[in-house]
Amino acid sequence: MSDHRMSDRRAFGVHAVLVAASLAMVVPFVWQVVTSLKTLSDATRVPPTFLPEGRWDNYAKVFDLLPFGEQFVNTVVMAAGRVVGQVLFCSMAAYAFARLRFPGRNVLFGVFLSVLMVPPQLFVIPQYQIMSSLGWLNSLQAIIVPGLFSAFGVFLLRQFFLGLPRELEEAARLDGAGPVRIYWSIMLPLARPGLVALSVLVLLWAWNDLFWPLVVNTDPEKMTLSAGLASLQGQYQTDYPVLMAGSLIASLPVIAVFVFLQRQFIQGIAHTGSKG
Amino acid sequence: MTTTAGSRAVRAARVEKARRPRAEALWGYAFIAPTGLGLAIFYLWPVLQTAYFSFTEWGAFGGHTWTGLDNYTRLLGDPEVGRAVLNTLTYTALGLVGIPLAIVFAALLNRPGLRGVSVYRTAFFLPVVTMPVAVAMLWRWLYNGDYGLVNQVLATVGIDGPNWIADPATAMYALVVVGIWSSIGYNLIIFLAGMQAIPKELYEAASLDGAGRVRQFFSITLPMLSPTAFFVSIVSVIGSLQLFDLVFVMTGSGQSARANPAYGRLQTVVQLFYERAFVTNDRGYAAAIVIALLVLIAGLTILQFRLQRRWVHYV
């Protein structure tokens, strides 16, 4: 074991490289915070000032320029809807594919997987037309409903269910439990780590999604934060302190969730890697 | 008495046995129904429709007419399409530099006994969880020619930096840096998981044979990690070919994009698709553009699978 421990000099070198890289990752965010607390004229001073100035009115201004409160609620509802929908629907399908026997199971699973291979841009025009014909443009349904279904979620959870022991199910079946009972009271509790990993990924993707919300909801009141932010930038190209304040509040909620659920996030990401 | 009861029980069990698979099959279909219908309506049918639309032209008031291969012949002769494909391929190729970078940092983090791993990992991961729109706005500010932090820092060593994202000579490189910066944490996590799956005995045997850390990295870690690297490269290439968020916001979120002198060097295939489908409402042509994108993605993925024999080691 002793040869695995690093000499102090080597350890110092490794830390020096890692600290430099970490600074490259973090300094832009620090600069974002500093800029968001300056007046425009101070932000555009050469050479720059490095201390924040406590100009909180940039944050208030974001709410004046955009219906930011509504957009925040839209984003929360969209993300929550997609998470709940995918956890429920994907786990149901994943359980069936992992444990129940029915004719055509493998073919159907192959069809589900084929969706994963298609670049998502191919869905957009027809999805837009469906929304338009339902009268759902500029609505919450438009940004939630297509996101309730996911081939990726089914695939991820099926792998998870396949790894679970069968004994508990067998015992429950001998006691006369049907598939619904087994799914709900045995499989779901056992699969909790998998469900959490999926939830965290869906939350991240939903919160940060731009293309689809940008296309279907063009009314500022119905936009999500990412689309709203993009439109704010479209109008106020150069008011950087306000743009930095807006981008900070928009991205902070997911960053906060990440800090609290770091282990689950990282496991979720590592799971996406294990499909290879 | 006992015999009839017995045979009845046997018969009941037989009926039960025959009925169970049928009930189980019905439950199977019921359980996959919600996702199955959702995928059929919102994903599978749309793919077929998009393929059909690519052979049509859309009128100003909705409605579309069959025009055969017109969109595709137009596409092949359209310099804007050629430019967008070239930009996208350049971004994808340059972005591959992020993979060896992620391997190096993962190897550094994977050293036994290293302190502060979780702090470093959090730093690398921060850009991964940040909204791409916010990332793009932040970097647009950092890259600002007059007041951006990048040029302010360069000025202290006497370098007069360009207007990075608006200068045709630098715009693509500046974009690639942001792409790598925001995805390195994701790749790093996958490589770390891959490294932790390498059996420790290999390293023990190697160090008994007198191989140092660097030697071990090249003769154990890298070959054992090559399937992971293959996966990461497949996923990165697919992702890069679909680049939209970063470039959309860095070029000014639509409205003023074409005023950017470097726009011709940045515009990606998906960005062109967005403009044709939802700005100029030329949806038949837009459909042909994404079908071309599908072909591009499939082609490069197949090419990578062909090439994997040369460098991926499977145990």
Q: What is the pLDDT of residues A27-66, one digit of tens each?
A: 999 999 999 998 888 888 777 777 767 778 899 998 888 8
Tell me, what CATH number does A111's domain have?
Answer: 1.10.3720.10
Q: Looking up tokens 């800090």, which residue turns up?
A: A259
CA A13 to chain centre: 35
Q: What is the pLDDT of residue A245?
A: 94
Whether residue A152 sits in one domain with residue A28: no
The verdict on A111 touching B (C-beta cutoff 8 Å) is yes
Does B17 have pLDDT greater than 90?
no
Task: Quote the mean pLDDT of chain A.
Answer: 90
* Whether residue A188 sits in one domain with residue A88: yes
Residue B58 lies in a domain: no
The partner residues of B66 in beta bridges, in order of sequence, read: B56
Domain termination site, one of A59, A74, A100: A59
The CATH code of the domain that includes B267 is: 1.10.3720.10
Q: What CA–CA distance (Å, rounded) separates B293 from A119? A: 8
Shared domain for B48 and B145, answered yes or no, is no
Q: Are strands B56-58 and B64-66 parallel, antiparallel or unpaired?
A: antiparallel
B134 vs A22, A229, A274: nearest CB: A229
User: What six digits make up the tokens of A156?
Assistant: 């991820």
Examine the domain organization and report whether A125 and A155 are in the same domain. Answer: yes
Q: What is the pLDDT of residue B15?
A: 56
B207: enclosing H helix or E strand: helix B200-208
Q: Which residues contact A181 (CB under 8 A, 6 or more apart)?
A: A172
Separation between Cα atoms, residue B32 and residue B184, nearest integer Å: 36
Distance CA B156, CA B149 (A): 11
Instruction: Give yes or no for residue B141 having a pLDDT over 60.
Output: yes
CA dist., res. B213 & res. B216, Å (int): 5
Q: At which of A59, A83, A106 does a domain end? A: A59
Place of tokens 């050293």: B111
Regarding whether B102 and B49 lie in a shared domain, the answer is no
Does the structure show a pLDDT above 80 at B106? yes
Reduced to 3 states (helix: H, G, I; strand: E, B; else coil), residue B65 is: strand
Q: What is the pLDDT of residue A40?
A: 84
Q: What does the pLDDT look like over B156-196, one tens digit per residue?
A: 999 999 999 999 999 999 999 999 999 999 999 999 999 99
Are B265 and B146 in a shared domain? yes
Do B120 and A22 lie within an 8 Å CB cutoff? Answer: yes
User: What contacts B85, CB < 8 A, 6 or more positions away?
Assistant: B269, B292, B296
Could you list the residue range(s) of the whole structural domain that residue A50 is in?
Answer: 2-59
Per-window interface: B 264-293 vs A, CB < 8 A: 270, 273-274, 277-278, 283, 286-287, 290-291, 293
Which chain A residue's Cα is nearest to B296?
A119
**pLDDT tops 90 at residue A222:** yes
Residue B61 lies in a domain: no
Q: Which of B26, B126, B242 sits opposite A29 (nearest CB)?
A: B126
Q: A122 with A21, same domain?
A: no
Report which of B118, B101, B112 is spatially closest to residue B216, judged by C-alpha positions.
B112
Q: Which residue of B has its CA nearest to A273?
A: B190
Please tell me whether residues A75 and A205 are part of one structural domain: yes
Show contacts of A60-69: CB within 8 Å, 24+ apart: A61/A242, A61/A245, A62/A232, A62/A242, A62/A245, A62/A246, A62/A249, A65/A232, A65/A235, A65/A236, A65/A242, A66/A220, A66/A228, A66/A231, A66/A232, A66/A246, A67/A220, A67/A221, A67/A228, A68/A225, A68/A228, A68/A246, A68/A249
> B8 falls in which pLDDT band (50, 70, 90)?
low
Same-domain status, A80 and A167: yes
- The CA-CA-CA angle for residues A215, A219, A221, to 5°, reads 125
Nearest-Cα residue of chain A relative to residue B180: A25
Q: Is the separation of the CB atoms in B282 and B101 below 8 Å?
A: no
Mean pLDDT, range B11-36, rounded to an integer: 80
Within a domain: B59: no
Check: CB of residue B256 under 8 Å from CB of residue A230: no
Task: Give the least confident one: A69-73, A176-180, B295-299.
Answer: A176-180
On the 0-12 / 13-18 / 19+ scale of CB atoms within 10 A, A197 is buried
**Same domain for A86 and A50:** no
Q: Specify if B64 maps to a domain.
A: no
Q: How far apart are CA B111 and CA A3, in angstroms?
A: 12
CA B121 to chain centre: 21
Indicate if B182 and B93 belong to the same structural domain: yes
Q: H or E stretch including A57?
A: helix A57-65
Residue range of the domain that includes B156? 70-311
Question: pLDDT tier at A191 (50, 70, 90 boundaries)?
Answer: very high
Count of domains forming chain A: 2
The answer to whether residue B136 is domain-embedded is yes
Banded pLDDT at A275 (limits 50, 70, 90): very low
The backbone region for B136, taken as left when phi is positive above 0, alpha when psi lies in -120 to 50, beta otherwise, is: alpha
Cβ contact (<8 Å) for B129 and A18?
A: no
The contacts of residue B53 (CB under 8 Å, 6+ apart) are: A125, A126, B64, B283, B284, B287
Note whether A73 and A38 are same-domain residues. Answer: no
* Residue B62 domain flag: no
Asked, for residue B259, whether it belongs to a domain, the answer is yes
Rg (C-alpha) for chain A, rounded Å, is 24
Q: Which of A49, A78, A113, A247 to mutate to test the interface with B (most CBs of B within 10 A)?
A: A247
Q: How many structural domains comprise chain B?
A: 2
pLDDT of amino acid B12: 59
Query: Quick check: B150 pLDDT over 60?
Result: yes
Within a domain: B103: yes
Structure-block tokens of residue A11: 């350890």
From the list A122, A145, A215, the residue facing B290 with the nearest CB is: A122
Among the partner-chain residues A88, A100, A120, the one whose CB lies closest to the CB of B27 is A100
Determine the average pLDDT of the residues in B32-49: 97
Burial of A225 (0-12, 13-18, 19+ CB in 10 A): buried
Q: C-alpha distances in angstroms, A47 versus A176, A182, A198, A238, B143?
A: 76, 67, 46, 18, 15
My answer on whether A98 and A176 are in the same domain is yes
The tokens for B294 are 């599908």
Q: What is the pLDDT of residues A130-187, one digit of tens each?
A: 999 999 999 999 999 999 999 999 999 999 899 899 988 889 989 988 899 999 999 9
Look up residue A198 and give its two tokens: 């999926």
C-alpha span between A177 and A183 (Å, rounded): 10
Judge: B146–A46 Cβ closer than 8 Å, yes or no: yes
Q: How confident is the model at residue A14 (pLDDT cuts 50, 70, 90)?
A: very high
The answer to whether the Cβ–Cβ distance between A119 and B297 falls below 8 Å is yes
Q: Is the pLDDT of residue B94 over 50?
A: yes
Task: Give the residue from A59, A84, A104 where a domain finishes.
Answer: A59
Say whether both A172 and A46 belong to one domain: no
Cα–Cα distances in Å, from A52 out to A43, A136, A146, A247, B90?
10, 44, 42, 17, 38
Q: Which carries the bigger pLDDT value, residue A125 or residue B212? A: A125
Helix (H, G, I), strand (E, B) or coil at B55: coil
**Any idea what the Cα angle at residue A259 is, between residues A256 and A263, rounded to 5°?**
140
Q: How many helices (H) and strands (E) does chain B have?
A: 16, 2
CA–CA gap between residue A271 and residue B158 (Å, rounded): 47
Residue A218 at interface with chain B, using a CB cutoff of 8 Å: no
> Please, which contacts does B162-167 make with residues 24 or more away whose CB atoms are closer than 8 Å?
B165/B139, B165/B140, B165/B250, B165/B251, B165/B260, B165/B262, B165/B266, B166/B260, B166/B261, B166/B262, B167/B261, B167/B262
Q: Are residues B33 and B181 in the same domain?
A: no
- Do B47 and B76 lie in one domain? The reply is no
- Specify whether B181 is located in the same domain as B36: no
Question: Is B43 in contact with A130 (Cβ distance < 8 A)?
Answer: no
State the CB neighbour count (10 A cutoff) for residue B143: 25
**Length of chain A counted residue by residue:** 276
Enumerate helices (H) and strands (E) in chain A, giving the number of each.
16, 0
